[in-house]
Structure 1
Amino acid sequence: MVPRIPIVMVFVSHRKNENEWLAILSTDRTLTEEEIIRNYSMRLDIETFIKCTKSLLKLQKEFQGRSYDMLISHTTIVYVRYILLAWQHRQNTNERTLGLFAELCDEVIRIHLF
């Protein structure tokens, strides 16, 4: 017999297209609907970050070193690239600047890369 696990199911409609929606399941029944949506959003951001660093920024393929220090250095460089690209994208597409981006604005303006 298959064990039955109680879940909470939250339906979220698309902001611009009412016909599109997403069903989010949670086994933690103590969370509110807002918390479930926020947790899913954070998870999606993390998955997007990992996919971008692996495929677009070549985290696994660009460098073939075997030293621990070399791997840490390469990973750090890839993550810095991602942060700069994300910051630039946010500056060009969104008037709001939150969290780390707000703290980095003054610092990044002072950096001269070339």
Structure 2
Amino acid sequence: MLKEVYGNECLFRTQVFEWFKWFKEGRETTEDDPRPGQPSMSKTDENIEKSGKSIREDRCLSIRELPEITGIDKECVRQILHESFNMRKVCANMVPELLTPDEGRWLQIKQKS
């Protein structure tokens, strides 16, 4: 009957039975249960500020050196710099994205030599 009414948007039969069991046992919400494992806590305001402070002090820090200094995962540091500070990768260093194409090429040439 549910498939006739909802078509492709219908839950599978096993899921309907599972939900029925949960609500019969007293569950009152459809929210997911907490899952085991370590929650992602690296992108906090404190860690964003710590990463920003480190990169402002030494603009020549590489994306590999910054996690050692801040104690944050490398991928999380990369996301913080990209999303919060609008920085992008040029060679191994992060630079502001507001560079003109000529300035970006100059940095790449300078770092190669």
The TM tier, using the shorter chain, reads under 0.3
Between the two structures, name the one with larger relative contact order (CA 8 Å, sep ≥ 6). Answer: 2
Bigger Cα Rg = 2
- TM-score of the aligned structures, taking structure 2 as reference length: 0.24
Task: Return the TM-score normalized by structure 1.
Answer: 0.24
